[in-house]
Amino acid sequence: MLASIIDVSHTGYLVLFLLVMAESGGVPVPGETSLIAAGILASQGSLQIEVVIVVAASAAIVGDNLGYQIGRKGGRWLLQRPGRFHRQRLQVLARGEPFFERHGPKAVFFGRFLLGLRVWASWLAGATHMRWRSFVFWNACGGICWATAIGLLAYSLGNAAGNAIKTFGLFGLLAVLLVVVGVLIAHFRHRRDADASAQQSDGAEGAGHEREPR
């Protein structure tokens, strides 16, 4: 339906590039969500998954390098200055900077897959003066792996959902999902009750030992 309203074959790649680049550069916009949407649209034939992955990876690398330069030249001042999201920005700096100084390359690579670090990792890398060559290498590796993994996952899920709807119908698919959710809820409740019973038994045994005469 969305593809019929907007010609995504012409605008989809541009929107994907801009959103992923902005998120990677430090703007809290739905960059990963746009990649997931593009992967699903590719599964429906509106986009090409190969181009989606290349666009997303390129946008991630470009955005991260822009964020790195911003962080290196004035990142600490921008994170600490009063204004919108001031408390959140201070929390990002307080929690992220010590970790980043110890694990810079890992933070750049794996941060691509985590929401908080995906938005702020490039700024923190620049603010802590991480070596640019090291940043570029690990950033490129993370961006390519992220775009490939998330893009292919969304593409596969889109195909699977489409096939399920064709086979069972929309209501049949919803019924299956409800059954799966119900089974998971029952499983977690059973585990919770079992853990609570075990804790009560341990507490009763401990109290009995304390009452034994010496």
Tens digit of each residue's pLDDT (9 = 90 or more) over 148-169: 999 998 898 887 765 655 555 5
Q: How many residues does the chain have?
A: 214
Q: How confident is the model at residue 203 (pLDDT cuts 50, 70, 90)?
A: low
Compute how many other C-beta atoms are within 10 angstroms of the C-beta atom of residue 47. 23
Of 149 and 85, which is predicted with more confidence? 149
Percent with pLDDT over 90 in the chain? 27
> How far is it, in rounded angstroms, from Cα 56 to Cα 87?
30
Of 54 and 174, which is predicted with more confidence? 54
Amino acid at 41: L
* DSSP code of residue 114: S
**How confident is the model at residue 176, as a pLDDT?**
57
Locus of tokens 């996952």: 153
Q: How confident is the model at residue 171 (pLDDT cuts 50, 70, 90)?
A: low
Q: How confident is the model over 172-197, as a mean pLDDT? A: 67
Alpha-helical (H) ranges within the chain are 2-5, 8-24, 31-43, 49-80, 86-102, 104-111, 115-127, 132-168, 170-211
pTM of the predicted structure, to 2 decimals: 0.66
> How far is it, in rounded angstroms, from Cα 42 to Cα 184?
31
92 CA to centre of own chain: 16
Q: What's the mean per-residue pLDDT of the chain?
A: 78
* 80 contacts 46 by C-beta, under 8 angstroms: no
**How confident is the model at residue 175, as a pLDDT?**
63
The residue extents of the domains of the chain are 2-164, 169-211
* 27 contacts 45 by C-beta, under 8 angstroms: no
Percent with pLDDT over 70 in the chain? 73
pLDDT in tens, 119-148: 878 888 888 788 889 899 999 999 999 999
* 122 contacts 71 by C-beta, under 8 angstroms: yes
Q: How confident is the model over 185-194, as a mean pLDDT? A: 72
- Encode burial over 136-164: b for 16+ CB neighbours within 10 A, e otherwise: eebbbebbbebbeebbeebbeebeeeeee
Out of 1-5, 113-117, 121-125, pick the least confident.
1-5
Distances, alpha carbon 94 to alpha carbons 74, 100, 119, in Å: 17, 11, 15
Q: How confident is the model at residue 3 (pLDDT cuts 50, 70, 90)?
A: very low
CA-based nearest residue to 153, from 32, 28, 2, 7: 32
Q: How confident is the model over 75-91, as a mean pLDDT? A: 76
